[in-house]
Structure 1
Amino acid sequence: MKIASIILLFLFFSACKSPEARYPVSQNSGSYIDESVERNKEMIAEEEDYIKQVMGKNPDTEYLTSADGFWYYYNKKSTDSLNNRTPEFGDVVVFDYSISTIEGDPIYGEGEKATREYAIDKEKLFTGLRQGLKLMKEGETVTFLFPSHKAFGYYGDKNKIGSNVPITAKVTLHSIKKEEINNETNNEN
């Protein structure tokens, strides 16, 4: 009985031991991440150089550079001095667009992408188009040249646009509806 009590006491105290941290078998220095960052920087630089070469082949077109890292030009610019409003957060815009390669080969032709309603920054849309719409005024048509990281990136669109493909998007903004803010007031009588 004494031996059983000792064994039970030993098991009791060993079971009450606090858990020890487990350390990884191997540690990475982060060099993989650093290499990945360098590869991405090089890829972006190559894409931007290529886009600039394509723009250089069209000297009659006035390309503008956005602060967000893409280029664009106006196919149809608004001349209405009263129409100087661009969409803001929450505004609902109606637009349609087509997508081509940087060289101009159609990927999604005009009419292939349906006219779309979009609430600015409240719905999913690829980064470049989301930022590009904010530069437009009602009735304008703009062609955007997006590096792949502003378009569909590494994954593509899982249909016609592959991995890391820079694109051109021709966008027509039909209308901008200001976000309606619901102000509920209490009318006490």
Structure 2
Amino acid sequence: MVFNLKKYRLTFFFIISLLIIISSCKNDNKKKKVVITRDMLMEHNRKLLGLESDVIKKYLEDYKIEMQQTPTGLWYRIVSDSISSNAEKNQIAYLDYKVSLLDGTECYSSDKDGIWTIVVGKGEIESAVQEALLLVGEGDSIQFIAPPHLAHGLAGDGNRIPSQSILRYDVKVLRIEKLK
């Protein structure tokens, strides 16, 4: 039996090529290993928060809106203030709302999606909404702007809110009830 080199040439070439690729990949991993430290991540996050804050400040300046900022980075203004006491944890809040991107694109609203029913302090929704609800009571209206870390973060909501979105909320507290 005679070994036919022509018949197996393509297979031989493929095996040699594969071995070269595998060995080069192993060498590249050793050369390009990058170590990311906690300090590097913290510095990146500080820069990102600074950029987001600059975008929000510019938005407020362009639209001549005055808002206060909380220590967490939430920007808010109470539009109408009733005499009722502020919402408290473990109460149910019924909200008329509109959530939009800073460019005005509407993401969600009670007109299209129905009244928002939230258990205050339960943590089932964006932390910006939880924080804002503790600033108002029944009958109050509040506008607030949430940087991504207080809204839907890097991922967005996988539906109508894109990744890394700064969101504007316009909320009216229709009713507050005790949790049963």
Bucket of the pairwise TM-score, normalised by the shorter protein: 0.7 to 0.9
Residue in 1 that maps onto 2:18: none
Contact 1:72–1:142 (CA<8 Å) still a contact in 2?
Answer: yes
CA contact (8 A) 1:98 1:112 kept: no
The structure richer in helix per residue is 2
In the alignment, structure 1 residue 171 sits paired with structure 2 residue 171: yes
Secondary structure, aligned partner of 2:47: helix
- Is the contact between residue 60 and residue 66 of structure 2 (CA under 8 Å) also seen in structure 1? no
Aligned-partner Cα distance in 1 for 2:69–2:163: 24
Q: 1:113 to 1:64 in 2, by over 3 A?
A: farther
Could you tell me the TM-score, scaled by structure 2's length?
0.73
Which residue of structure 2 aligns with residue 70 of structure 1? 74
The Cα shift of 1:113 comes to: 3.1
- Normalization by structure 1: what TM-score? 0.70
Give 3-state SS (helix, strand or coil) of 2:121's partner. Answer: coil
SS at match of 2:154: helix
1:56 corresponds to which of 53, 61, 66: 61
Correspondence for 1:117:
117
Q: 2:97 corresponds to which residue?
A: 97
Closer, same or farther: CA 95–109 of 1 in aligned 2, 3 Å: closer
- Structure 1 Cα separation of the partners of residues 105 and 58 of structure 2: 16
State the 4+ residue runs in structure 1 displaced beyond 6 angstroms. none
**Contact kept? 2:151, 2:167, Cα under 8 Å:** yes
Judge which range, 145-154 or 117-126, deviates more. Answer: 117-126
Paired position in structure 1 for 2:25:
none
Larger Rg: 1
Contact 1:93 1:175 in 2 (8 A): yes
Q: Are residues 40 and 67 of structure 1, via their aligned partners in 2, closer, same or farther at CA, if it must alter by over 3 Å?
A: closer
Deviation of 1:53 after TM superposition, in Å, equals 0.8
Contact kept, 8 Å, 1:89 with 1:121, in 2: the verdict is: yes
Residue 72 of structure 2 aligns to a residue in which SS?
Answer: coil
CA RMSD of aligned residues (A): 2.2
Residue by residue, what CA displacement relative to the aligned partner does 1:80-112 show, whole Å, maximum 9, x if unpaired? Answer: 3xx2x1111111111132111123332224512
Q: Distance in 2 between matches of 1:39 and 1:149?
A: 14
| Structure 1 residue runs without a partner (length 5+) | 1-25, 181-189
Give the secondary structure class of the aligned counterpart of 1:153: coil
1:132 counterpart = 2:137: no
CA distance in 2, matches of 1:64, 1:37: 25
| 2:165 is the alignment partner of 1:161 | no
User: C-alpha separation between the residues in 2 aligned to 1:149 and 1:98?
Assistant: 19
After TM superposition, the structure 1 stretch with the greater mean CA deviation from structure 2, 103-112 or 165-174, is 103-112
Give the superposition deviation at 1:72. Answer: 1.3
Structure 2: stretches of 5+ with no match in the other structure: 1-29
Taking the aligned partners of 2:56 and 2:77, their CA distance within structure 1 comes to 13
Aligned pairs, how many?
Answer: 149
What is aligned with 2:26? none
